[in-house]
Chains A and B, each alone.
Chain A
Amino acid sequence: MNRLAYLRASSLEEAKQALALPGSIALAGGTTVVDLAKLGAMKPDLLVDIGGLAGLDAVRVDAGRLHIGALARMADVSRNADVLRLAPAIAESIERAASGQIRNMATIGGNILQRTRCAYFRDASTYAACNRRTPGSGCAAIGGVTPNHAILGATDACMATYPGDLAIVLAALDATVHTDMRDVALVDLFAEAGSGRETVLADDEIITAVSVAADAGAARSSYLKLRDRQSYEFAAVSVALAVDLTGNGPQIRVAVGGVATKPWRLPSVEAVLRAGPPTRARIAEAAATAAGDARSTPDNHFKIRLLTRTLERALLTALDLS
């Protein structure tokens, strides 16, 4: 790890000033930044600890929306009664993420911003080529070991998978990310893979909360996560659904994880599902469109089949057709 400075911010303003300095980065739970700094994949000059900022860790319901403070701990959110009642998939996705120890430390804002597990991104000393670390340097993952890499959104610039669980659910729920400067739709938060930026946020912009509409779809939300190990492993494929059965025909929102470079909505699937009653045949037809734009390597080719099947199972289960 490089030598660096550490500042414990006592106010949002102080944090913003520090984050405007080149080489600075915000530190909250410390479960990602510290890890990557130790590996040398990130070489911050200044860690700006925002963990002590007041008022950013609350979970509240306001004007029909569920608000979760950016500094709320994952473990606390997964046990929160309002979350469990209004958007159970949020709790479900957190329960299935990381380990108990990490969930006790990691914050919601930090979790959403967690970095990819791509081994070629994480090892800067061996692999100079990484468009995420150094825009324009290339991609060492091409021709490497890629069973965990993305099949959706993958380009020659980058095929690293977005690793999180919570953000997949938030994408399905049309979540809004609130910063100190503006509101951004969660699906618009992430920059294009390999563009050299992780998100559209400004350097000194701080996420203060995320919120979702406490609607019928959120109340009937679900998260299905598949992986080889039953705990403490990132998704091979995950599916988040929000199913609203209150209207004329189900309104279903679909996002997938473990297969894409960022939290990935599937409008093509949603369109097929909107076109008529949710029969088994229609669900199969919808699921079959999920991987239409997929691009695979020999290592991760199995994810195309796995994505289709997982999506189909999740839909059948959510609609009580299984």
Chain B
Amino acid sequence: MTDPTKRKHGDASDGALHLGSPLARVDGDRKVRGEAAYALDAAPAGLAHGVLVRGTIGAGTVLSVDAASARQSPGVLMVFTPFDTPVLGAPDSFLDGTPGEGPFHVFPASILHWGQAVAAVIAETRQQAETAAALLRIDYAPGDVVPSILSKDAGPGVPVGAVDIDRGDAEAALAGSVFRVEATYETPREYHVPIEPHGAVAWWEGDRLTVREPSQWIDAMARTYAGWFGIPFENVRLISHFVGGGFGSKVTAMTHGAVAALAARELGRPVKVAVTRAQNFTAHGGRAATRQTLRLGADADGRLKAIVQDGESETSVFVPFVEQLNAATSVMYDVPNLRSRQRLVHVNTVTPAHMRAPGKHPSAFGLESAIDELAHLAGIDPVELRLRNEAGFNPQTGQPWSSRRLREALVEGARRFGWKDRPAAPRSMRDADGAFLGWGVAAGLFPALDHFGEAGLRVDADGSIEVLSAGIDMGTGTYTILAQAAADALGVLPGDVTVRLGDSELPSGPLAGNSLLAGVMTGLVHKAAAAMRETIIGLALTEQGSPFRGSELNTLDITRGRIHPTLDEGRAVPIADLLKAIGRDRIERIEDNFPAGTSAQERHRIMTTVAGLRPPDGGVSSVASWCAHFVEVKVDEDFGTVRVRRVVSGFDCGRLYNPHLAASQFRGGIVMGIGQALLEGGRVDPRDGRIVNDNLGDYLIPTNADIPDIEVFSVGEPDFRAAPMGGKPVGEIGIVGVAPAICNAVFHATGQRIRRLPLDIAALLSTN
């Protein structure tokens, strides 16, 4: 590797030809043609169909289930209720692999939130199962419901403690500040709504279980199935070739999978359980609702002296899930005094979950809105204010940054956007039709994590080359970038490489979450392909039958899949011909990044639980991606309608393994951010906690008509402290900071400051 400090801007000069080039996604053609088989496309012979039945109270107890009519309904094979479902085993802890706490009751009689699954019906067809499900008579003893964080009886919550921060003396510094702003910011429940809903198809062969299920983490899910059914991990085969969007919602095994596998075992035939769109709002959690009060203090030049944060996030009554509200607050700017507290408000909801940029999004919404308020108060341009508060090192940990080019993103973004022409005062820009225009800016970050894994490389006698990993492609481009990585290291073309992913029989792969898989897997595939190259050259020089044997050469080269003496492509031999000549059917290499001497047991633990997640660079430097969003909005003040007219966003994500696919991730994140700002929010019934807008007609996400031109650009440089191939997290950063940029632009347009999302017609009209 060359010295990264010597590189030019954006240069990927490690000899790469393919990694870093904008190759179109290799699986795109199959997807467009409908030929890519997603999990629920599986239709093994004898398939039966199961449906989940949701409870209709917000809290209480299932007293009885009268399933007599359902069992007699045509085609019904089996009904599971809280009173006759076999109890499953206890998987060891998802956190660290320690022994599980107790058996898994698939349908507990105790109801903790509206929509909790209370029963399942298995039948010959999906329609028969649905018909029978409607015949179940379920008696409840309703309990008291605390529907949401907004409920009067939700209480103040309980302190989290573990995420509290005390840096310097924030209260004193705030009191002594020249400029002070204080405001409360709120975000609603948001839902992942992947366009592929959840589901599973399961079948057994003896004591071996196969599950086809969309998954962001094959090995961790397989571990849970093994624990549930008391079989060795190796006896579970989990397959997830394609994933139609996950956004954090497909990391763990859930009730629908348990039901499919359990019914398949009981019936001795394959069973499919598809989760409906409406059930996707209650079968797993979305992003927790949050509320935070921020107090910022700055000196006369706008330099931050203090931040005081008091926040609350919503969670279920049974799991203390933390949507970390200081994820951005604590590291975004150079502030010497910071006090942060967070409380958890337990309500009757399904437990919230990680959703694209967990913590970072609500944290940045508060902070980047407050920074804009401070800029307005201090009379300092909001870009300039951010530049003045740039953090030269991680202010929370004291570590140096591996790289931080937020300044470049802000400066270049301002230039591209035309920011210098922005009048400082709100209500000073109008469109030709008289509607107000506004320009806003906000920054974002995404801290990196690292994980372990393996990558396999296989060359067959016909010359075919395969990359093998249980890692998955969520639609983000794993298939493509791993072909690119392998091609470079091996000396072939990306089109010569077949990438096989998403099967637990393949070498173990990392979590596809925290935007870390691309960084881990490109490094591992590069390593495996380089090792394969050395293996092939070694065989070519030494094996009986090789045309290069005994040729006095001490090395060879591989170019476009042909082996040849260095500087002499005239004597090139295709890899397949070499294998034939030396009588080999197949060569395989598996490489990993486990610490030397890691036991098999420890490998299993760190590949199937979050205990394997760790900071990159051995924690020596602090690694994060950075971004800056510039947004223009048009606001019709009479109507309270906000339209985003253009977005210019700069990103520092290190080296981009495929700029074309990375830009898609950036744009996708920005689109999702526009939805968060203007449209999205779960509507919770104040009596029973039901999510009343649990469908894509009423839970609004952006359509094409809502999305303007989005210009994205990269200011990143290869960062080899972040990942072996020089990249930083890409998949989630795009969403961070979009909502505050839009709210800041609306303030600039109208003078109205909206601090609760979504910023919809009702919100704007409530104050004007």
Encode A208-250 as 1/0 by CB contact (under 8 A) with B. Answer: 0000000000000000001111111110100000000000000
Interface segment, B225-233, B263-271, B512-520, B680-688? B680-688
Given A147-B762, A232-B697: A306 and B639 interface contact (C-beta under 8 Å): yes
Which residues between 1 and 33 of chain A lie within 8 Å of chain B, taking CB atoms? Answer: 1-3
Contact between A144 and B687, CB atoms less than 8 A apart: yes
Is B130 positioned at the interface, with any CB of A under 8 Å from its CB?
yes
Which residues between 491 and 527 of chain B lie within 8 Å of chain A, taking CB atoms? Answer: none
Contact between B639 and A229, CB atoms less than 8 A apart: no
Contact between A309 and B700, CB atoms less than 8 A apart: no
Contact between B705 and A231, CB atoms less than 8 A apart: yes
- Shortest Cβ distance from A296 into chain B, in angstroms? 12
Which residue of the partner chain, among B74, B684, B705, contacts A230 with CB atoms under 8 Å? B705
Is A153 positioned at the interface, with any CB of B under 8 Å from its CB?
no
Which residue of the partner chain, among B134, B685, B697, B765, contacts A1 with CB atoms under 8 Å? B134
Measured CB to CB, the nearest residue on chain B to A99 is: B703
Interface segment, A55-63, A117-125, A176-184, A265-273? A117-125
Contact between B703 and A232, CB atoms less than 8 A apart: yes
Complex Cα distance A3/B135, Å? Answer: 11
Which residue of the partner chain, among B131, B640, B684, B685, contacts A302 with CB atoms under 8 Å? B640
Contact between A229 and B679, CB atoms less than 8 A apart: yes
Complex Cα distance A109/B702, Å? Answer: 29
Chain B positions within 8 Å of A231 at CB level: 703-706
Contact between B765 and A229, CB atoms less than 8 A apart: no
Which residue of the partner chain, among A228, A302, A309, A310, contacts B766 with CB atoms under 8 Å? A302
Complex Cα distance A68/B561, Å? Answer: 66
Is B638 positioned at the interface, with any CB of A under 8 Å from its CB?
yes
Chain B positions within 8 Å of A126 at CB level: 56, 114, 688, 690
Chain A positions within 8 Å of B684 at CB level: 145
Contact between A306 and B765, CB atoms less than 8 A apart: yes
Interface residues on B, range: 35 or more
Which residue of the partner chain, among A145, A229, A232, A313, contacts B638 with CB atoms under 8 Å? A313
Which residues between 86 and 144 of chain A lie within 8 Å of chain B, taking CB atoms? Answer: 117, 119-120, 123, 125-126, 143-144
Complex Cα distance A144/B685, Å? Answer: 6
Chain A positions within 8 Å of B131 at CB level: 1-3
Complex Cα distance A80/B601, Å? Answer: 70
- Shortest Cβ distance from A294 into chain B, in angstroms? 14
Complex Cα distance A228/B759, Å? Answer: 9
Contact between A236 and B706, CB atoms less than 8 A apart: no
Given A1-B134, A119-B693, A306-B639: A229 and B702 interface contact (C-beta under 8 Å): yes
Chain A positions within 8 Å of B127 at CB level: 1
- Shortest Cβ distance from B569 into chain A, in angstroms? 54
Chain A positions within 8 Å of B74 at CB level: 3
- Shortest Cβ distance from B134 into chain A, in angstroms? 6
Which residue of the partner chain, among B130, B678, B688, B693, contacts A228 with CB atoms under 8 Å? B678
Chain B positions within 8 Å of A232 at CB level: 697, 703
Complex Cα distance A40/B758, Å? Answer: 31
What secondary structure prevails in chain A residues at the interface with B?
loop
Chain A positions within 8 Å of B679 at CB level: 228-229
Encode B120-162 as 1/0 by CB contact (under 8 A) with A. Answer: 0000000100110010000000000000000000000000000
Complex Cα distance A312/B703, Å? Answer: 28
Contact between B698 and A309, CB atoms less than 8 A apart: no
Contact between B639 and A145, CB atoms less than 8 A apart: no
Chain B positions within 8 Å of A120 at CB level: 692
Is B641 positioned at the interface, with any CB of A under 8 Å from its CB?
yes
Contact between A2 and B766, CB atoms less than 8 A apart: no
Contact between A302 and B692, CB atoms less than 8 A apart: no
Chain B positions within 8 Å of A306 at CB level: 639-640, 761, 765
Contact between A302 and B762, CB atoms less than 8 A apart: yes
Chain B positions within 8 Å of A227 at CB level: 761
Contact between B766 and A226, CB atoms less than 8 A apart: no
Question: Which of A2, A229, A233 has the largest count of B CB atoms less than 10 A from its CB?
Answer: A229
Which residues between 729 and 767 of chain B lie within 8 Å of chain A, taking CB atoms? Answer: 758, 760-762, 765-766
- Shortest Cβ distance from A125 into chain B, in angstroms? 5
Is B192 positioned at the interface, with any CB of A under 8 Å from its CB?
no
Complex Cα distance A231/B74, Å? Answer: 41
Given A3-B131, A119-B693, A233-B700: A125 and B638 interface contact (C-beta under 8 Å): no
Is B643 positioned at the interface, with any CB of A under 8 Å from its CB?
yes
Complex Cα distance A226/B641, Å? Answer: 8
- Shortest Cβ distance from B341 into chain A, in angstroms? 31
Chain B positions within 8 Å of A1 at CB level: 127, 130-131, 134
Complex Cα distance A144/B688, Å? Answer: 9
Contact between A143 and B687, CB atoms less than 8 A apart: yes
Contact between A236 and B705, CB atoms less than 8 A apart: no
- Shortest Cβ distance from A99 into chain B, in angstroms? 8
Chain A positions within 8 Å of B698 at CB level: 117, 119
Question: Which of A3, A299, A310 has the largest count of B CB atoms less than 10 A from its CB?
Answer: A3
Which residue of the partner chain, among A2, A143, A228, A302, contacts B686 with CB atoms under 8 Å? A143
Given A229-B706, A231-B703, A231-B704: A305 and B134 interface contact (C-beta under 8 Å): no
Complex Cα distance A133/B454, Å? Answer: 58
Contact between B639 and A310, CB atoms less than 8 A apart: yes
Contact between A145 and B762, CB atoms less than 8 A apart: no
Contact between A228 and B705, CB atoms less than 8 A apart: no
- Shortest Cβ distance from A35 into chain B, in angstroms? 9
Encode A139-176 as 1/0 by CB contact (under 8 A) with B. Answer: 00001110100000000000000000000000000000
Chain B positions within 8 Å of A310 at CB level: 638-639
Complex Cα distance A226/B690, Å? Answer: 27
Contact between B688 and A229, CB atoms less than 8 A apart: no
Question: Which of B56, B690, B761 has the largest count of A CB atoms less than 10 A from its CB?
Answer: B761
Contact between A228 and B700, CB atoms less than 8 A apart: yes
Complex Cα distance A192/B760, Å? Answer: 31
Contact between A230 and B697, CB atoms less than 8 A apart: no
Contact between A228 and B639, CB atoms less than 8 A apart: no
Contact between B638 and A228, CB atoms less than 8 A apart: no
Chain B positions within 8 Å of A230 at CB level: 643, 703, 705-706
Which residue of the partner chain, among B643, B690, B703, B704, contacts A123 with CB atoms under 8 Å? B690
Which residues between 66 and 125 of chain B lie within 8 Å of chain A, taking CB atoms? Answer: 74, 114
- Shortest Cβ distance from B73 into chain A, in angstroms? 8
Complex Cα distance A143/B760, Å? Answer: 22
- Shortest Cβ distance from B55 into chain A, in angstroms? 9
Contact between B703 and A40, CB atoms less than 8 A apart: no
Measured CB to CB, the nearest residue on chain A to B56 is: A126
Which residues between 608 and 627 of chain B lie within 8 Å of chain A, taking CB atoms? Answer: none
Complex Cα distance A147/B704, Å? Answer: 24
Complex Cα distance A144/B686, Å? Answer: 6
Question: Which of B678, B679, B686, B762 has the largest count of A CB atoms less than 10 A from its CB?
Answer: B762
Complex Cα distance A231/B701, Å? Answer: 10
Complex Cα distance A313/B679, Å? Answer: 24
- Shortest Cβ distance from B75 into chain A, in angstroms? 11
Which residue of the partner chain, among A125, A145, A236, contacts B761 with CB atoms under 8 Å? A236
Contact between B761 and A228, CB atoms less than 8 A apart: yes
Chain A positions within 8 Å of B702 at CB level: 229
Contact between A144 and B692, CB atoms less than 8 A apart: yes
Chain A positions within 8 Å of B703 at CB level: 229-232
Measured CB to CB, the nearest residue on chain A to B706 is: A230
Chain B positions within 8 Å of A233 at CB level: 697, 700
A-B contact pairs, 26 of them (CB 8 A): A1-B127, A2-B134, A3-B74, A117-B697, A119-B698, A120-B692, A126-B688, A144-B686, A144-B687, A145-B684, A145-B692, A145-B693, A147-B683, A226-B639, A228-B758, A229-B705, A229-B706, A230-B643, A231-B703, A231-B704, A232-B703, A302-B762, A306-B639, A310-B639, A312-B638, A313-B639
Which residues of B approach A to under 8 Å, CB–CB?
56, 74, 114, 127, 130-131, 134, 638-641, 643, 678-679, 683-688, 690, 692-693, 697-698, 700, 702-706, 758, 760-762, 765-766
The 10 closest A-B pairs by CB, nearest first: A119-B692, A230-B705, A231-B705, A302-B765, A126-B56, A231-B703, A309-B638, A302-B762, A145-B683, A228-B760
Given A1-B127, A1-B134, A2-B134, 4 more pairs with CB closer than 8 A: A226-B639, A299-B762, A306-B640, A309-B639
